[in-house]
A and B are shown apart, each in its own frame.
Chain A
Amino acid sequence: EPEVTQTPSHQVTQMGQEVILRCVPISNHLYFYWYRQILGQKVEFLVSFYNNEISEKSEIFDDQFSVERPDGSNFTLKIRSTKLEDSAMYFCASSRETDTGELFFGEGSRLTVL
């Protein structure tokens, strides 16, 4: 069964460092997303991406965040200068269409900022 894969599963970084989280969405999906979940809190929308550009982004997704689809398979989230409050589980998701709530989530990348 096709699935969304994310790497790394856990990354520890120092405050101020750049981090890149990687995702391989399901191959025939066209819409890609990043969500995050701070420990014990709700899952929060960060950004959606379609046709090589951002479709929507939340207030959380400020200038320190960026996304990229560098090739036909990977979808990355970059955090330029990490802050302590960026510590969270980051979930990548993909969907075939936008007119559906059926997003397929990866298992997440846990980011710990020290």
Chain B
Amino acid sequence: GESVGLHLPTLSVQEGDNSIINCAYSNSASDYFIWYKQESGKGPQFIIDIRSNMDKRQGQRVTVLLNKTVKHLSLQIAATQPGDSAVYFCAETYSGSARQLTFGSGTQLTVLP
């Protein structure tokens, strides 16, 4: 069936650099996308979301970009810090509802000192 997946399982960046985490989705009916961060031993933590009527949304040090043409989502983290080390998941749903999120496989971000 259709699913959300991630391009890279691991990503290492130097502290202070910018990080870009990518996500491909295949369900063209999805119209709402969310990024979650999961630290070791903890539950997923909401980072930022974007609806399909937008192509960019910014938060504090994070930006999400949505390209509906190629069904691609990315999360940019500015000035990456050691505390950003975690697994990052994209998730999708449709009709603006959070009732049933479909999560991607996750990318492990490691911030190097």
Contacts and interface: CB of A to CB of B under 8 A. Distances in A.
A26 interface: no
Nearest to A59: B1
Contact of B99 (A43, A48, A91, A104): A48
Nearest to A44: B103
A15 to B, nearest CB: 26
A108 interface: yes
18 contacts: A31-B99, A42-B89, A42-B105, A43-B89, A43-B91, A45-B101, A56-B100, A91-B43, A91-B44, A95-B98, A99-B98, A100-B98, A101-B32, A101-B33, A101-B34, A103-B98, A107-B41, A107-B42
Most chain A CB within 10 A, of B33, B41, B93, B100, is at: B100
A99 B104 contact: no
Contacts of A56: 99-100
Nearest to A108: B43
Interface of A: 4, 31, 35, 41-45, 48, 55-56, 58, 91, 93, 95, 97-108
A101 B30 CA distance: 13
Given A4-B43, A91-B43, A97-B98, 16 more contacts: A42-B89, A42-B103, A43-B89, A43-B91, A99-B97, A100-B49, A101-B34, A101-B46, A101-B98, A102-B49, A102-B98, A103-B44, A103-B46, A105-B43, A107-B41, A108-B43
B102 interface: yes
